[in-house]
Amino acid sequence: MTISFNRPTVTGNELRYIQEALDKFHVSGDGMFSKRCSAWLEEKVGVRRALLTHSCTAGLEMAALLCDLGPGDEVIMPSFTFVSTANAVVLRGAVPVFVDIRRDSLNIDESLIEAAITPRTKAIIVVHYAGVACEMDAVMEVARRHDLFVIEDAAQALRAFYRGRPLGSIGDFAALSFHETKNFISGEGGALLINDTAHVARAEILREKGTNRSSFLRGEVDKYTWVDVGSSFLPSDIIAAFLWAQFEQAESLQAGRRALWNRYHEGFESLEKAGAVRRPIIPDGCDHNAHLYYLLLPDLAARNRLIASLRDREIHAPFHYVPLHSAPAGLKFARTHGSLPVTDDVAARLLRMPLWHAMTKEPDQVIEAVHLLLR
Ligand SMILES: *Cc1c(COP(=O)(O)O)cnc(C)c1O
């Protein structure tokens, strides 16, 4: 029996809510289900405004526009992340400046940020890898001192916390993902979270093709027109209906995921004691959301051997990011501050375990196979 790396989460109400959207004759953006999802996010994450987008990528692009990034501006971020974190900046003509990550959480090393700041630095983008929080107190402190925006790439981090505060509520902006590989899904999908009301009006305009259509629909202006730059960043209400079926069961989805994560963590404890792997480290103050479970193998060769051996048993366990600083577009569009030894090291040794909602006995089978292969 094949064990795939991911399988989309289904709660059972998705089709019913999509049918409801059809019955209401509203399937374009910002219908009933979009409003419900936004209100849920505003309450659960504790932000001023949550705007659904068609992806986290779109949310990051909106955040880059709202920070008024322009040619030559610099944005400090980790290299150990998905391409969208950097592309949002590059699309504005600005330059990603990569710094290294911490050995424990694999998140941006907050102690390296200040030295990478120049007169051109405008923002810091943090990525909460695996739904484990970055050291946000230190990040916010350095940002405040240098008057920089903070954007949280919270693609993996919905329903995770830092010192009791929901991730996505700490920076100026945050972007969430509802891609089918994330904890709560709508196939493709995302959201931009805004913590300062001063940015809300412009965000609504950017998202509605540069028009004041959102104000018009609320009856605040009597006609709508082209007022700014913008694009179409909003999803159909069919997508929001799917997403609502997931939000509605967020607590049980989270609990199930947490149990699977804990099963892996217990199952690999003896291998860690034997020095064969390193398990994830969750720093104090971080309440994670069990987004993904990874192991660090001793070296690249051991990691690649394990991938191949698991694949022979039809278990699909992939590696993760190819660091952006050494990717072709990274070399062309970005720059690196100092060297990134931890990023290079970890990227070569990391392996992700299959983890999805409907799993039952699969984690035990994966654990058993890994034990057997590393013995
Ligand atoms: C998944 C992911 C994204 C992209 O999300 P999309 O919704 O597919 O655009 C961006 N950043 C990180 C860290 C991610 O994990």
Using one digit for the tens of pLDDT, what is the confidence trace for 310-362? 999 999 999 999 999 999 999 999 999 999 999 999 999 999 999 999 999 99
Q: How far is the CA of 276 from the centre of ligand 1 (A)?
A: 30
Q: Is 85 in the pocket of ligand 1 (CB under 6 A)?
A: yes
Q: How far is the CA of 374 from the centre of ligand 1 (A)?
A: 32
* Per-residue model confidence (pLDDT) at position 68: 98
Instruction: Give 246's contacts (C-beta < 8 A, 6+ positions apart).
Output: 9, 11, 14, 178, 184, 185, 186, 253
pTM of the shown model: 0.98
Q: Which residues of the chain are modeled with pLDDT < 70?
A: none
Q: Is 94 in the pocket of ligand 1 (CB under 6 A)?
A: no
The helix (H) or strand (E) run that includes residue 196 is: none
Q: Is 87 in the pocket of ligand 1 (CB under 6 A)?
A: no
Number of other residues whose CB lies within 10 A of the CB of residue 275 = 8
Q: How far apart are CA 279 and CA 275, in angstroms?
A: 10
From 52, 57, 186, 193, mutation site for ligand 1 pocket: most ligand atoms within 8 A of C-beta: 57
Which residue reads 């190819």 in tokens?
A: 322
Sign of CA dihedral 355, 360, 364, 369: negative
Instruction: Give 191's contacts (C-beta < 8 A, 6+ positions apart).
Output: 37, 38, 41, 50, 51, 52, 53, 59, 175, 176, 178
Q: Is 246 in the pocket of ligand 1 (CB under 6 A)?
A: no
pLDDT tens track for 139-194: 999 999 999 999 999 999 999 999 999 999 999 999 999 999 999 999 999 999 99
Kindly state the DSSP code that residue 321 receives in the 8-state scheme. P
The helix (H) or strand (E) run that includes residue 52 is: strand 49-53
Structure tokens at 264: 């892996």
* Per-residue model confidence (pLDDT) at position 375: 85
Q: How far is the CA of 367 from the centre of ligand 1 (A)?
A: 27
Q: How far apart are CA 173 and CA 354, in angstroms?
A: 31
From 5, 87, 156, mutation site for ligand 1 pocket: most ligand atoms within 8 A of C-beta: 156
Q: Is 82 in the pocket of ligand 1 (CB under 6 A)?
A: yes
From 87, 132, 173, 179, mutation site for ligand 1 pocket: most ligand atoms within 8 A of C-beta: 179
* Per-residue model confidence (pLDDT) at position 289: 98
Q: How far apart are CA 113 and CA 99, in angstroms?
A: 7
Q: Buried (b) or exposed (e) across 151-187, using 16+ Cβ within 10 A?
A: bbbbbbbbbbbbeebbbbbbbbbbbbbbbebbbbbbe
Dihedral angle, C-alpha 257, 178, 149, 130, nearest 10 °: 30
Q: Buried (b) or exposed (e) across 95-112, using 16+ Cβ within 10 A?
A: bbbbbbbbeebbbbbbeb
* Per-residue model confidence (pLDDT) at position 1: 83
Considering only CA atoms, which of 161, 181, 175 is closest in space to residue 44? 161
Number of other residues whose CB lies within 10 A of the CB of residue 368 = 12
Q: Is 186 in the pocket of ligand 1 (CB under 6 A)?
A: no
Q: Hey, is 191 helix, strand or coil?
A: strand
Structure tokens at 52: 């659904």
- Tally: H helices and E strands in the chain: 15, 13
